[in-house]
Amino acid sequence: MVTVAQAESMHAEALAELAEEMARFYGAPQPDPLELRIRQINESLFADPPSAYAILAWDGGRLVGFAAYSFLWPAVGLTRSVYLKELYVAETARHKGVGRLLIQYLYEMALRNECSRVEWTTDRDNPDAQRFYAQLGVPVKESKVFYRVEGEELRRLTAQPLPPARLLAVGAAAGYGEPVGVNGEAVLRAGTADEVTEHVIGNFGHRAAFLADEVPVSGGRQVVGGGPVSQAGGVNDAEPLKFLELAVDRGQVHVGRVRADLGR
């Protein structure tokens, strides 16, 4: 009879041994040494606080499956969700209901902890897992896009600092700047946030009235996004200045209201 229970520290070695089978299943040429896997499990599951949790399925004294999960916040409103990172059943124990028992325990644990969701992903090239989840009656969510940075790319991005954000002060003050196609307005100053703040506050006494983003386009610049933040006055109350946020990340521009008030 298969029983399911929360993992405890005394189970680290058994979990490490099953993890070796899992690593080979996913195509790892050479799994990490057993001692390293045990240490990683203890550091992840049984530290204070733990980074993750695991549910174990036992057939007598043999570990035949596990589910690794974490709590995520926020989910619906300010509630938590359970994220199932890994569900693995030993090859000799498949098609015997072990996976369903682990999933059912996960659902019950989520409700006990007042979580609003249980969610997970699976690989597109793993049709067996997809069939299993379809049999559970869980619909596929197509609304999310998945991102991942790992390995050498993570190290490269960490070692490469992002360029500073730039602000464009845009307004209709006569005789200033160059046209950028925002209702006939003109760029008053381009530079870092501090440079633009000093220039605008010193010369016009305005606070931020608008935030948006500028992106390069063929033949010039085009402003996108943004919206009114305040209606602060200045030298010419009829033409309040506007501020555009330009955050450049290796050639890509990110939309976002970063500085809503440039007053000192």
100-123: pLDDT as tens digits: 999 999 999 999 999 999 999 999
> Phi and psi dihedrals of 82, rounded to 5?
-105, 125
* Pair (27, 111) in one structural domain: yes
Are 86 and 174 part of one and the same domain?
A: no
In a domain, 150, yes or no: no
Residue with tokens 């100053």: 189
> Using CA of residue 73, residue 77, residue 80, residue 82, what is the dihedral sign?
negative
pTM greater than the 0.75 cutoff: no
Clarify whether residues 8 and 137 are in a common domain: yes
Span 150-157, mean pLDDT? 91
Q: What are phi and psi of 17, to 5 degrees?
A: -70, -40
Q: Is residue 260 part of a domain?
A: no
Q: What pLDDT sits at residue 199?
A: 57
Q: Looking at the structure, do residues 197 and 73 belong to the same domain, yes or no? A: no
Q: Give the mean pLDDT of the chain.
A: 73
